[in-house]
Chains A and B, each alone.
Chain A
Amino acid sequence: MLHFYIPDLKLILPEIIITVTALLILMVGSFKKNTYPSFLRRLSHYAIIGFILALGVLVFQHHPGEKWVTFEGQIIQDDYIYFAKILVLSASAGVLAISVPSMLKDQILSFEYPALILLATVGMLLMIGANDFLSLFVGLEMQSLSLYILAALNRDQVASSEAALKYFILGALATTFYLYGVSLGYGFSGTTSFESLVALIRVESVEVLPISLFIALVFIVASFSFKVSAVPFHMWTPDVYQGCPLAITAYIAAAPKVAAMIIFLRLMVIPFMLLYGEWQSIIVFVSLASMILGAFAALRQTDLKRLLAYSTIGQMGYVLMGVAAGNDEGVQSVFVYLTIYLVMIIGTFGCLLCLRGKAFSGVQKIEDLSGISILHPKIAFILAIFMFSLAGIPPLAGFFAKFYVFKAAISAGLFSLAIVGVLTSVVATYYYIKIVKVMYFDDIPMTPSISYGEAIILSPEKIVILNLCAIFILFFFAFPNPVLELAQQAALALPN
């Protein structure tokens, strides 16, 4: 019963561009059988060009307020999805740009790297644009499988393989949760489409709905809590962050989190909107637990990547506060928070990727950063900005992100959530400013260049991205409106 129209393909042009680029890179890579760093670098440049092209097509094709559904109602686009796609595409391009030289330094010379990032991005775009539980599943699996391979890319290292295996097994478990939930939902409704489901729930009153639907809801919430590494499904995060090569960690922390969070919110506010009271209490709990654990568990970490993992858990707790609000304000806050989070996280990892710690193996411990404010004042300055911003201190962008989520929580009457949120943010500030302390306040060893990161890997791409991120964070207060307006439009696109 499939009948393709040409206009359908035109609408998914960004996805097509990225897929073609990925295939192109795979073809060139496997036929040339060339493992010189310069060759891999060129492939990465192709990938970045692909991203920019896709981004351009996306922006030029989209008209504000427009909405279309295609592929038999499987794929949808509106202002909400448009903003989300911009985020995912820029995040992928940004991470690729900052990571290439360090991948080469880490001797990860596989041409699959840019191709896998492209394929993961296609998965995310599909996931975000899904209008049906099955197309969502396809996208989810596509990005997850690409990420598992990316995590295992450094085959010679035990830690990396171990991390990849953990990620894969737990990820597969989460996916089964999702599938189980969807099947239960199908058993209730006989449909996998978002719109049909919401229509069915609307017909019945909430009291007479079968229990299976609530179980389905819980399973789906659990699986996405896993994807966004929210407590109590966070266990994989510190291990995977620590085990993976730094560049891959950066990618896992950036784009997939955003994509998963956005579709999580979309699921809650579109198909399950009428079960608001049911899912809200679950998400309030998950958000509370994530904020508390993210704040307190990170205090004792000495490993930088584990610290950032707990920091991500905490940050996701704040975003979930916006999800829990579930209203217009909540949607806006999720978008604003995620946008700023992406810039901060790409910037932070970008700085870390520039530095080499002891034995030139990349910074691992927090102490590895001591003295870089003298050796590399600019990198230290930029990293300090990102740390203060992650802590949410004005005048940096992170403050506006926090402000938005607290505003959402209060608008929905979730006062206790907001109070716990601000208190944990103070606790979390401790470890963010600890990094600033290590960089700026600690005395430097007598011969810093021997024991501490002397080498610095910079490339033009990296400099551009780092400067862009820093400028965004520093001067967000002066020009906040483009992001805020996009977020507002995204919120308006949802049926309420």
Chain B
Amino acid sequence: MDVLPLLSITIFLPLLGAIAISSSWGSLNDAQANNARWVALWTSLVTLGMSLILLWYYKPATSDFQFEDKFHWMPVLNVSYHVGLDGISLPFVLLSTLLIPICIVASWSSIKKRVPEYMIAFLVLETMLLGMFSALDFILFYFFFEGVLIPMFLIIGIWGGDNRMYAAYKFFLYTLLGSVLMLLAIIYIYFEVGGSDIPLALTTPFDPKVQIWLWLAFFASFAVKIPMWPFHTWLPDAHVEAPTAGSVILAGILLKMGGYGFIRLSIPMFPEASSTFTPLMFTLSVIAIIYTSLVALAQKDMKKLIAYSSVAHMGFVTLGIFSVDPQGLQGAVMQMVSHGLISAALFLCVGVVYDRIHSREIADYGGLVHRMPRYAVVFMVFILASVGLPGTSGFVGEFLVLLGTYKVNTWASTLASLGMVLGAAYALWLYRRVIFGIMINPKLKTVLDLNWREAVVFTPLVAGTLILGIYPMPLLTMMEASVANVIDQFHIVLDPEDGLIDQAKSLQMALHLKRN
């Protein structure tokens, strides 16, 4: 494994697929479209295979970066191409490589116009996402972080719904506004550290006064991406207008970029500022959980409802991250992975009925269980997982976050668990209105149950949700060393007498978890 740059191959394989599709691009016939679909599917499947090889060779015992590749990219600037994985980034890499083939299969027949372009956009997006999660150089990180915007903009704008222009613009400009401020912070760090290497910057202490500004600049970017209340307004629009697969990627992976950024950069690099802003983060997270759950209750559009529920679930993530506690942080990563699976599946569920009825209004549905029993089961699994039923991955994540937060701030934890109750209310109510009741809409009378392609799409997601819910240990073991490392970096700077958990104890807890 030392011979081959496995990680770089994984990152750039999708780009290769995109180039392969574009090389035969021009004629607009069905064979062309089918070709593009198959090339995209195979490329993404091989990428998935590559990421599984990475998982196979991954050593969870160490918090060092693994599969590192480093060479001079722009020697004039002392910027290198530096990638590597640790226990925090590997779950996201796996999540991305899993969801992209699912997206491609899910849009197999629902996307009819400009198929080659669509597939190219998804493959380029995959490269950007994988690169972003494994980048260990600031410039490279930013390059991939913002590079996601172009393909996503096109996916929403070209293949989206009626109001797609507004949604595409809002998504693009809103997230760009956040990221450009981060660019300035990155440049400042570049001059402070004398290079743009992330591992180097992580060990460089910054002046606490400057930290506040740098933290805010990173916050602007990540808070919009996650999104936190009150920066979330782009999300419902983008979700509603995006095509199904676009929503899947958006909810499944793009939102995680913000959480990943907080864990990877904000917490270890700016410990003083992070602890200063912890009350703010807790407040915003709790507001997000409760407020957006209430908003979700009032939604008439299924996609919008799930979009608001995403904001609420991401509230748990930020809560867990800023508890800076082993359980809280692991819970945050767990919650992100599980939300990646669950929200992706929920959007796919909406996509299934949307392809048949062409409506997202909840009122247009009802009584689907009579015509689509298999669909009703799948939908139920994900609704319950979204509620956080024990035995599903949603439970593990939310429980760990609440546990971790409880140790740091009881109030935040209590209020957040209130949000879980509201979450159960909107999710179960949605399920009741769509699946049960009387079938009123005449269009539903002839609707067909899941076809085999849709079944193939849902299988890995159901499996993932249940496996992670029943036996989350592999994922928790994978990340615990890296999480402990992040927490150490945070606490090593702050006074251990700070009222927060001290370093020895956090390590002990991490080890305890491992023995389990």
Interface flags, B145-172, vs A, CB<8A=1, else 0: 0110110011001100000110011001
Query: Are B74 and A484 interface neighbours, CB within 8 A?
Result: yes
Question: Of B128, B142, B169, B177, which contacts A433 at CB under 8 A?
Answer: B169
A190 contacts the other chain (CB 8 A): no
Query: Are B157 and A440 interface neighbours, CB within 8 A?
Result: yes
B188 contacts the other chain (CB 8 A): yes
- Residues in B with CB closer than 8 Å to A436 are 153, 157
A266 contacts the other chain (CB 8 A): no
Interface size grouping (class) on chain A: 20 to 34
Closest to A377 in B: B26
A218 contacts the other chain (CB 8 A): no
A419 to B183, CA, bound (A): 10
Query: Are B180 and A484 interface neighbours, CB within 8 A?
Result: no
- Residues in A with CB closer than 8 Å to B154 are 440
Interface flags, A401-431, vs B, CB<8A=1, else 0: 0010011001100010011001101100110
Query: Are A429 and B172 interface neighbours, CB within 8 A?
Result: yes
B440 contacts the other chain (CB 8 A): no
8 Å CB interface, B180-234 against A: 180-181, 183-184, 187-188, 190-191
- Residues in A with CB closer than 8 Å to B147 are 393-395
Interface flags, B372-398, vs A, CB<8A=1, else 0: 000000000000000000000000000
Tell whether A403 pairs with B183 under 8 Å between CB atoms, given A393-B147, A395-B143, A440-B154: yes
A341 contacts the other chain (CB 8 A): no
A477 to B168, CA, bound (A): 26
Query: Are B150 and A393 interface neighbours, CB within 8 A?
Result: yes
Question: Of B168, B176, B184, which contacts A437 at CB under 8 A?
Answer: B168
- Residues in A with CB closer than 8 Å to B474 are none
Query: Are A429 and B173 interface neighbours, CB within 8 A?
Result: yes
A488 to B180, CA, bound (A): 25
Contact count A vs B, C-beta below 8 Å:
82
- Residues in A with CB closer than 8 Å to B165 are 437, 441
A477 to B76, CA, bound (A): 14
A8 to B470, CA, bound (A): 84
Interface flags, B115-148, vs A, CB<8A=1, else 0: 0000000000000100000000001001110110
A488 to B75, CA, bound (A): 11
Question: Of B26, B157, B184, B191, which contacts A422 at CB under 8 A?
Answer: B184
Closest to A442 in B: B165
Query: Are B76 and A488 interface neighbours, CB within 8 A?
Result: yes
B455 contacts the other chain (CB 8 A): no
- Residues in B with CB closer than 8 Å to A205 are none
A393 to B146, CA, bound (A): 7
Closest to A478 in B: B73
A113 contacts the other chain (CB 8 A): no
Query: Are B191 and A426 interface neighbours, CB within 8 A?
Result: no
Query: Are B77 and A484 interface neighbours, CB within 8 A?
Result: yes
CB distance from A333 to the nearest CB of B (A): 11
**Chain A binding surface SS class:** helix
What number of B residues sit within 8 Å (CB to CB) of A? 36
A481 contacts the other chain (CB 8 A): yes
Question: Of B26, B168, B177, B184, which contacts A441 at CB under 8 A?
Answer: B168
CB distance from B127 to the nearest CB of A (A): 9
Query: Are B75 and A481 interface neighbours, CB within 8 A?
Result: yes
Query: Are A422 and B76 interface neighbours, CB within 8 A?
Result: no
A415 to B150, CA, bound (A): 28
Question: Of A399, A419, A422, which contacts B143 at CB under 8 A?
Answer: A399
Query: Are A406 and B187 interface neighbours, CB within 8 A?
Result: yes
Tell whether A481 pairs with B74 under 8 Å between CB atoms, given A394-B142, A407-B187, A437-B165: yes
8 Å CB interface, A439-496 against B: 440-441, 477, 480-481, 484-485, 487-488
- Residues in B with CB closer than 8 Å to A178 are none
Query: Are B146 and A399 interface neighbours, CB within 8 A?
Result: yes
Interface flags, B434-468, vs A, CB<8A=1, else 0: 00000000000000000000000000000000000
Tell whether A437 pairs with B143 under 8 Å between CB atoms, given A426-B176, A429-B172: no
Tell whether A394 pairs with B146 under 8 Å between CB atoms, given A429-B173, A441-B157: yes
Query: Are A485 and B76 interface neighbours, CB within 8 A?
Result: yes
A403 to B173, CA, bound (A): 18
Interface flags, A216-258, vs B, CB<8A=1, else 0: 0000000000000000000000000000000000000000000
A378 contacts the other chain (CB 8 A): yes
Closest to B157 in A: A441
A256 to B231, CA, bound (A): 43
CB distance from B444 to the nearest CB of A (A): 30
8 Å CB interface, B275-314 against A: none
A272 to B158, CA, bound (A): 52
A388 contacts the other chain (CB 8 A): yes
- Residues in A with CB closer than 8 Å to B149 are 393
Tell whether A406 pairs with B173 under 8 Å between CB atoms, given A394-B147, A395-B143, A437-B168: no
- Residues in B with CB closer than 8 Å to A440 are 154, 157-158
A423 to B220, CA, bound (A): 13
- Residues in B with CB closer than 8 Å to A425 are 180
A418 to B165, CA, bound (A): 30
CB distance from B194 to the nearest CB of A (A): 12
Which of B144, B181, B187 has the largest number of chain A CB atoms within 10 A? B187
Tell whether A429 pairs with B76 under 8 Å between CB atoms, given A394-B146, A399-B143: no
A256 to B190, CA, bound (A): 34
The 25 listed contacts between A and B (C-beta, < 8 Å) are A394-B142, A394-B143, A394-B144, A395-B143, A399-B146, A403-B187, A410-B184, A410-B187, A410-B188, A411-B191, A415-B184, A418-B184, A422-B183, A422-B184, A423-B177, A430-B173, A433-B172, A436-B153, A440-B158, A441-B164, A441-B168, A477-B143, A481-B76, A484-B74, A485-B76
Nearest 8 A/B pairs, CB to CB: A422-B180, A484-B76, A394-B143, A394-B147, A441-B157, A395-B147, A426-B177, A410-B187
List residues of chain B with CB under 8 Å of any chain A CB. 25-26, 73-77, 128, 139, 142-144, 146-147, 149-150, 153-154, 157-158, 164-165, 168-169, 172-173, 176-177, 180-181, 183-184, 187-188, 190-191
Known: A423-B177, A485-B76. 20 other contacts (CB 8 A): A378-B26, A393-B147, A393-B149, A393-B150, A394-B144, A394-B147, A403-B183, A403-B187, A410-B191, A418-B184, A419-B181, A422-B180, A426-B173, A426-B176, A426-B180, A437-B165, A441-B157, A441-B164, A441-B168, A484-B77
